[in-house]
Amino acid sequence: MFTDYVDALDERYVRASVPQSEEAKYIGRKGYATQNIMNVCDFNMFFFTFVLAEWEGTTYDTRIFNKALRRPKLHFPHPTDKYYVVDADYLNTTREYLTPYKEGTRRVGA
C-alpha cells in the first residue's frame, strides 16, 4: 500500500481534430491525430487536481512534465514531504516522484 502520496500523474492521448496543414505533428503512435494531455488525479481517482492540455500527440511525456515544472504560471502543485506516483515514462530524478515498476508501464486491470 502506498503512503505519503499526493496524487497520481499520467498522460493520456485523446483523439484530436486539427487543420490538415498541422496534422502531421499530431499523429503519433496511435496512427491518428491525438493530443497528449498531462493529468494529475487524486489517488482514489475521484477528481483531477491538475490538467495540461496543449501538446501534440507526438510530444514525449517527459517533455510535457518538464515544461510543467518550469512554468510557474501553470501552478503545477509540487509535493511537500510527499510524492506523486508516476508511470515508467518518468525518471525518478527527485524523491517527489515515485515509479513503482521499472520494467514498463503497468495498468491495473489491463
- Give Cα separations from 103 to 7, 13, 57, 88, 93 (angstroms): 21, 21, 23, 7, 17
Cβ atoms of residues 36 and 18 within 8 Å: no
pLDDT at residue 34, rounded to an integer: 92
User: The pTM is what?
Assistant: 0.69
pLDDT at 83: 74
Q: What is the pLDDT of residue 76?
A: 85
Residue 45 is predicted with a pLDDT of 67
Average pLDDT, consecutive stretches of 10 residues, N- to C-terminus, the chain (110 residues): 64 88 87 89 78 88 85 83 72 64 50
Domain boundaries, the chain: 5-98
| Closest-CA residue to 61 (of 35, 94, 95, 93) | 35
Nine cell digits for residue 58: 507526438
